Structure 1
Amino acid sequence: MPLRLGPTFAEALAAADRPLAGMWVCSGSALVAEICAGSGLDWLLVDAEHSPNGLESILAQLQAISGYPVQTLVRPPVNDTVLIKQYLDLGIQNLLIPMVNTVADAEAAVAATRYPPEGVRGVGSALARAARWNRVPDYLARASTTISLTVQIESATAVDAVEDILAVDGVDAIFVGPSDLAASMGLLGQQEHPDVRAAVERCLVAAVRAGKPAGVNAFNADTARHYLDHGASFVLVGADVALLARGSEALAAAFIPPAVDSADGTSPVSY
């Protein structure tokens, strides 16, 4: 029976009448991903750059999430043509590519998502979940319309090139990562520094002028609202692992007296 793939994240952004709010899914657990998918948030980001996710665990999470009305993006660990091919064949429709610092980086990411002659994506639709094993009619001809590409601006170099990156055909949106951006500016751990915020705002303004959506990572609610007020179309406002860490710590603080286990006032960590 012929099948039809759902709308992309880019299409969801275009149809939205408000900014879209989402969260990181970093645990590597399909069960946790499904819990997050049913939360009522607009979108999820399954991360493989800083999280223990391989192809098999990502596939399981895609399958767990698929029954819920939520958009799913996946971030590979690197902007790599072979890895992007595998992600696309896995059925990932929405990619967030990290560390896109130049126009050349952005063009390489676009090329990896396009079949020849527009790009360099390997052809394996008969073997791949992307085409539902050739059950999606005309998949090869229409594949690029089933994929959205968001590139991550997370360095001072990328901020300087943001207007040119936004102009690359095939880049649907940008996403600003203040943590790595701060580090690249010599302000490690200072995401709220005025210079970092100004750099983020520059990217948001550039995106509005280019007519493309821009998102930003902001776990602080006031910061998230600030960036939304300055043109962000989508935000990440939390993470599954962070919610579990802070929630479990709150339980411990409520029911267990504090104890100091070492001379420097910290508790030992087991590996």
Structure 2
Amino acid sequence: MNRIKELYESGRQTIGTFINLGSEVSAECIGIAGMDYFIVDTEHSPFDISEALQCIRSAEIRNVIPFIRIKEVTRSTVLKMLDIGAKGLIIPGLKTVDEVKQLIQFGKYGPIGERGFGPNRCCNYGYDQSLNGGLKAYLEQANESTLFVPQCETKEFLEHIEEIVALEGVDGIFVGPFDLSIALGRPGQFDHPDLVRAFEHVVKVCKAAHKPAFIYANSIEDAKNRLKQGFDSITYRADLDMLIESYRNLLTELR
């Protein structure tokens, strides 16, 4: 089972971060720091599959779970990120139930979806021990351990969240607070009643479906508040801005 899923089922809230540098060294350092997971951001960052693969290798060395935020919902994008060994996908920009169903079709093996099988890196190029029990057992294990977490960051997604989270193949929900606040006409006003209600609704729906609710946090105070609000996982900022802030704080102290 995916370790993030194990921790959720044990009742522990998890902490992760984004990778925007596309560096395997950055990925390794995040693991050394003890983070539960990272999300390689291929949506907003200027890199793609090769850099994501190097980050995944670093994750395996340092015992941190590697997720990838994909740039688009196409069969090629979904399949390739899974084939290189991503333990889960974060999927942005979704609006409709049909879009989520298409994602599941691309990324989950049958009978849940129609993911194509190949002896790629995700199964040690066909030599993984899990294949010893037969292909059917491997496909079931892969479906169980590869997490699909669509982002709730549009008004339309929020309106259909009960139906989306109930789909077999959806393993959790990730709230993108900035884009959701813009979509609701309250850009950056995270304390506005409309946003508070939206966040609380996501948590409530996820808990009813027994699936984890993730959310991005931009400050320690924000992260603590979201954990108190009931979110199961906090994705705290990114390697890029953590680096900038650390050096800025250093210069402030020295000057």
In the alignment, is the contact (CA less than 8 A) between 1:9 and 1:72 conserved in 2?
no
Residue type at the aligned position of 2:67 = L
Give the secondary-structure state (helix, strand or coil) at the position aligned to 1:152. Answer: strand
Q: Which residue of 2 aligns with 1:35?
A: 29
Q: Structure 2 residue aligned with 1:111, among 105, 111, 114?
A: 105
Q: Structure 2 residue aligned with 1:21, among 2, 15, 25?
A: 15
Deviations 1:82-107 (A, max 9, x none): 20011111111211111222211221
Q: CA deviation at 1:255?
A: 4.5
Deviates more, 1:83-92 or 1:107-116: 107-116
CA distance in 2: counterparts of 1:117 and 1:213, whole angstroms: 23
Structure 1 stretches of 5 or more lacking a match?
A: 1-5, 257-271
Q: Which residue of 2 aligns with 1:141?
A: 139
Q: Which residue of 2 aligns with 1:216?
A: 215
Query: When you count helix as a share of all residues, which structure comes out higher?
Result: 2
Identity %: 28
In the alignment, is the contact (CA less than 8 A) between 1:106 and 1:151 conserved in 2?
yes
Cα RMSD, aligned residues only: 1.9
CA distance in 1: counterparts of 2:88 and 2:236, whole angstroms: 19
Give the secondary-structure state (helix, strand or coil) at the position aligned to 1:77. Answer: coil
Q: CA deviation at 1:198?
A: 2.0
Q: Which residue of 2 aligns with 1:268?
A: none
Deviations 1:204-243 (A, max 9, x none): 1111122211111112222222222222111112311111
Q: Which residue of 1 aligns with 2:153?
A: 154
Structure 2 stretches of 5 or more lacking a match?
A: none
Q: CA deviation at 1:8?
A: 4.9
Deviates more, 1:184-193 or 1:155-164: 184-193
Q: Which residue of 2 aligns with 1:48?
A: 42
Residue type at the aligned position of 1:133 = Y
Stretches of 4+ moved more than 4 A in 1?
none
Q: Which residue of 2 aligns with 1:94?
A: 88
> TM-score, normalised to structure 2's length?
0.89
In the alignment, is the contact (CA less than 8 A) between 2:40 and 2:68 conserved in 1?
yes
Q: CA deviation at 1:9?
A: 3.1
Q: CA deviation at 1:132?
A: 0.8
Is 2:72 the partner of 1:74?
no
Structure 1 pair 230/189, CA: closer, same or farther in 2 (3 Å)?
closer
In the alignment, is the contact (CA less than 8 A) between 1:201 and 1:227 conserved in 2?
no
CA distance in 1: counterparts of 2:245 and 2:93, whole angstroms: 28
Structure 1 pair 80/8, CA: closer, same or farther in 2 (3 Å)?
farther
Residue type at the aligned position of 2:123 = A
Residue type at the aligned position of 2:200 = E
In the alignment, is the contact (CA less than 8 A) between 2:104 and 2:112 conserved in 1?
no
In the alignment, is the contact (CA less than 8 A) between 1:23 and 1:45 conserved in 2?
yes
Deviates more, 1:245-254 or 1:225-234: 245-254
Count of residues paired in the alignment: 248
CA distance in 1: counterparts of 2:12 and 2:31, whole angstroms: 19
Q: Structure 1 residue aligned with 2:2, among 7, 22, 31?
A: 7
Q: Which residue of 1 aligns with 2:198?
A: 199
CA distance in 2: counterparts of 1:253 and 1:226, whole angstroms: 28
> TM-score, normalised to structure 1's length?
0.84
Q: Which residue of 2 aligns with 1:130?
A: 122
